[in-house]
Amino acid sequence: MEKTWLDLAGDVVVITGALGGMGRKIANDFAEQGAKLALVDLNEEATQSYAKELNNTYGVEAKGYACNSTVEEQVDALAKAVKADFGRIDVLVQTAAILTFSPLEDLALDEWKRTIDVNLTGYFLVSQRIGRVMIEQQSGRMVHISTIASIAPETYSGAYSPSKAGVNMLSKMIAGEWGQYGVRSNCVLPCFVKTPLSTKFYEDEEVEEGRRRMTANRRIGEVQDIANAVLYLASKRSDYTNGHELRVEGGFGNMIGDLVPKPGGRRQYAIDSKKPKN
């Protein structure tokens, strides 16, 4: 395959949550770049089927693996299998996550534990086992999907924000400890993006319009926006970026002042203030 700016052709990429809408788009874009793919999800038959689809479409080597990232023995087996099948692991992308809603005073302990297990403990186990391969080969790139809700709390979302805040710190620790071995770790923090986890939010037109107004770009993000960021951080083009949290949120973080009401609206207030005073 002809070399592209990202230069990902031939890289071995492990993607967790590969059957989700975000995982599928990211896998598709890596395949389009000529990367070799180890697709990971719970359903072995469906994961292998998607791997075959990418192989047929792009002519890349792709394999599907079943793994529950919260089960240590399964993650061990996954790392060994991918290393045996491909010989090395260049990139790890973690997308698997769950989101449930509850006021904290009503949040059941088992629900808290399940969210922490999937969203944080699973990320740790996969990072650790794949990381050992990367340390041995003295190179590797990790990209973890986090969220803006890891910085500003998604209230009434139970353990979701705490779990994703933990992912941010896990990534920083990986960068701090394994950077000396040529291993990089970064997070992508989406906000207001239509994903399988958030699609139901946008079924209400008022909610979608309200969220659109809260971004500087005045639009809701798409999975492609996330995939673009992931591929950049997974490429050698971001080689001096380590322990970073890349916000992919349409400028939402810049809009706090704009959301503070002023008489007649903020823009009109500014226009009116320039008119001559009687």
Q: Which residues are identified as catalytic?
A: 160
Q: Where are the beta strands (DSSP E) in the chain?
A: 12-16, 36-41, 62-66, 91-94, 140-145, 183-190, 245-248
Q: In the block, which residue shows the tokens 């960021």?
A: 229
Contact 126, 81 (CB under 8 A): no
- Judged by DSSP in three states, 151 sits in coil
**Strand ordering across the sheet containing 62-66:** 62-66, 36-41, 12-16, 91-94, 140-145, 183-190, 245-248
Contact 51, 22 (CB under 8 A): no
- The CA-atom distances, in angstroms, between 72 and each of 79, 86, 96, 156, 214 are 11, 21, 16, 30, 41
Return d(Cα 67, Cα 130) in angstroms, integer.
Answer: 13
Phi and psi torsions of 64, nearest 5°: -105, 140
Return d(Cα 205, Cα 7) in angstroms, integer.
Answer: 40
